[in-house]
Structure 1
Amino acid sequence: MDMRLTGRRALVTGAAGGIGAATARALAAEGVRLGLLDAAPAVAVVAAGLVVDGVPAASACADLADPDSAAAVVDALIAALGALDLLVLCAGVSGPVGTPIEETALADWERVLAVNVTGAFLALRQALPALREADAPAVVVVASDSAFVAAPGMAPYGASKAALLQFARAAAVELAPAGVRVNAVCPSVVDTPMSRGDLGLPGGFDGAGYPVQTAAEVADQIVFLCSPRSRPVNATAIVSDFGVSAGSGFPA
């Protein structure tokens, strides 16, 4: 299926690895010109490998949780692209894993909320003037199934993803009159370097005993939500968890 994305321009945050890098590759394959943003310098390596119409992706390295830095780099990347049609907010951290609430440091709580929620808010706020000028603009937020279900020892992460999902919904309602669609993807466990580190599985998820998706599979969901093919889809969260959350705990 032609996703009708050729020639469009996208800004992807958290693009140095994992879902963000996979999304950048998937969008580039659809002919989308890219601006990539991450706190890690490796974002420049990802950008250099993505060439559309002879032009490598633009990139910038910054902490999106810092208001001044966020504003400057978002403006710079939009200027490099010449305009903006799509914004994909992948930047995120997991924070403490397996840490009870009473042992969770305030600094850890604040950092997870700052990166996962405030960073998305700052990036979208700065990008909005450009998005309002675009034809069929779309925003996709990478939340998590943790916006709906909880795991012990991950209170900051779950709280941040629930807040992020509600932010996406609020933005979708507010921006609908301007034609800006805002949707979210909410995957369960994704095989990324971050999740491998969190779960102590450096060799990967073979034999994990639960379903795991790839970053490329999540990227496909994001590409669909970016595409004009999904024009009627707005304020929606795609929960890709293999149907696990639909199951009942009733011992039938």
Structure 2
Amino acid sequence: MAAASLDLPERVIVTGGTSGIGRACAELFAAAGCGVGIISRSQQRADAVAAELAATSSGTVFVAAADVADETGMQAAIDQLAGELGGVDALIVSAGIAGETGALLGTATVDGFRQVMETNVVGAFIAVNCALPYLTESPDGSIVLLGSDSGFVAVPGMIAYNASKGAIVQLTRALATEAWERRGIRVNSVAPSIVDTPMARHDLGDELMDDPPFPLQSPQDVAWSVAYLSSRQARAVNGTTLLSDFGFAGRSSFPA
């Protein structure tokens, strides 16, 4: 099935759009002919990705540099991209960090915990706040947040990450209730299990990721879920977190 099979938004902004899931989302929307705005902390990296997408897709790609936890920088970036795109129909919030992976209770630091929450949760709220005026003007405004199955199940050594992704589940509901009733904007999230991204490989190691003892999904798998939730075919879906974990969270603890 081609991306064109979905009735996708015409103007999309993706945070964290230069790597992993964010990049896969940017690639999918650009390949479908959408106008795409990418926000990255690195202008150089964003420019390189934009050049690659421009050479391989029919969509128009613009870039801006900002840290998602910096409200002033994010407002400037979204204002810039909205102007270049001629508006915003969908916001994909993919930027995130894992934090102190492997740090157990008693060794995990307050500063590390705070940094993860600032990026993964406060950063998501800032992105939504900054894009809200433009999404309100769209006839089909949509927001998709990137969560994780860690919002439903906990992994030792990832206290801050687990907490941040649990917050994304409830943030999705809270935003959806207000955004739809007051502004006609849908808000959903996707919560994948382990995805083969540079961040996951950094945390888990290439050896484990190359021969994993668990089901592994690609960034493109997640991008398709994001595309569906942002499409007009999903117009009745709001406040939902799509858990894509091969069914593991639904398993009973009974040894059968």
TM range (shorter): over 0.9
TM-superposed CA distance for 1:87, in Å, is 0.3
Question: Is the Cα contact below 8 Å between 1:191 and 1:204 reproduced in 2?
Answer: no
What is the alpha-carbon distance in structure 2 between the residues aligned to residue 26 and residue 248 of structure 1? Answer: 36
> Which one of the candidate residues 4, 7, 27 is aligned to 1:4?
7
What is the alpha-carbon distance in structure 1 between the residues aligned to residue 20 and residue 147 of structure 2? Answer: 14
Question: Is the Cα contact below 8 Å between 2:62 and 2:81 reproduced in 1?
Answer: yes
The aligned residue for residue 192 of structure 1 is 197
What is the alpha-carbon distance in structure 1 between the residues aligned to residue 24 and residue 122 of structure 2? Answer: 23
Give the alignment's TM-score, normalised by structure 2: 0.93
The aligned residue for residue 21 of structure 2 is 19
Task: Describe the SS at the equivalent of 2:98.
Answer: coil
TM-superposed CA distance for 1:56, in Å, is 3.9
Task: Describe the SS at the equivalent of 2:155.
Answer: coil
Deviations 1:89-110 (A, max 9, x none): 0000000111012111211111
Task: Describe the SS at the equivalent of 1:213.
Answer: coil
Question: 1:34 aligned to 2:39?
Answer: no
Task: Describe the SS at the equivalent of 2:210.
Answer: coil
> Which one of the candidate residues 134, 138, 151 is aligned to 1:130?
134
> Which one of the candidate residues 72, 95, 107 is aligned to 2:76?
72
Q: Which runs of 4+ in 1 moved over 6 A?
A: 52-55
Question: 1:222 aligned to 2:226?
Answer: yes
Question: Is the Cα contact below 8 Å between 2:116 and 2:161 reproduced in 1?
Answer: yes
> Which one of the candidate residues 143, 148, 151 is aligned to 1:147?
151
The aligned residue for residue 164 of structure 2 is 160
The aligned residue for residue 236 of structure 1 is 240
Give the alignment's TM-score, normalised by structure 1: 0.95
| Equivalenced residues, count | 250
Q: Where in structure 2 are there 5+ consecutive unaligned residues?
A: none
The aligned residue for residue 97 of structure 1 is 101
RMSD: 1.6
Q: Percent identity?
A: 41
Q: Where in structure 1 are there 5+ consecutive unaligned residues?
A: none
Higher helix content, 1 or 2: 2
What is the alpha-carbon distance in structure 1 between the residues aligned to residue 190 and residue 163 of structure 2? Answer: 16
